[in-house]
Amino acid sequence: MSGPIREFGLGLTDDWHTLPTGDAPQGWADALAARILDGAHVPDGVPAALARQLAEVKASVDATGVRGSHAAVLVESPAEPFIAAMLTVVLGRGVTRETFESQLGQVAEGVDTAQVMGTQVIEAIVSAGSVYGAHFLIGHLNPDDGAAGAHLEERVHLGVFPDGSADMIDVTAIAASFGTFADMPAWVVALLEDLDVTTEGAA
């Protein structure tokens, strides 16, 4: 029988870039944008635009109010310097699969302009434990444009439940636009193959 999760980590490829947690030093977004571009020749204004995107993602993560969230963004190439996806990973203390399933049902609640257009249940097994969650297509409507102004968001929200532990790892991935990935659920589950979890009862 394992116990509480003591530590966890998710190995990511070099095209993922972690964002600072908590209060970030002034200029962090500009510095990170420069590291991502890595000297690539890009048009004027691109570094500043990428820095704004990074700051917006961090602000959206901070706005959730979930303490302990670890966030990263995917920029696939300095030659195409835009954020293709964002990922958040957070430890859930004492969150059962039933509780998590209930949370999934509230994914678009409280957002007047959002509507879930499609849902696909995801179940898998990775080395860190069993995986349960859902793939969502969420329509965000512009109240001034009606259905013609809808923007489709593609999101995968998964929980990883280590055997015998009352804790879990909550993972959310959001694509920049619908169709960014040929098979987003499979892509996120593949990322979780590199999730390393250590519990108190582990040898």
Last residue of a domain, one of 74, 92, 117: 74
Structural domain boundaries, residue 148? 84-203
Q: Do residue 89 and residue 185 come from a single domain?
A: yes
Query: What total number of domains does the chain contain?
Result: 2
pLDDT of 145 strictly over 60? no
DSSP 3-state of 89: strand
pLDDT of residue 55: 96
pLDDT of 114 strictly over 70? no
The answer to whether residue 2 is domain-embedded is no
> How far from 107 is each of 32, 100, 102, 111, 179, CA to CA, in Å?
30, 11, 9, 9, 20
Higher pLDDT, 128 or 43: 128
pLDDT of residue 1: 46
Q: Do residue 28 and residue 89 come from a single domain?
A: no
Q: Of 57, 6, 55, which is closest to residue 175 (Cα–Cα)? A: 57
Q: Do residue 121 and residue 167 come from a single domain?
A: yes
Q: Looking at 86-90, 94-98, 152-156, which range is the least confident one?
A: 152-156
Tokens of 30: 């500009």
Last residue of a domain, one of 74, 95, 126: 74
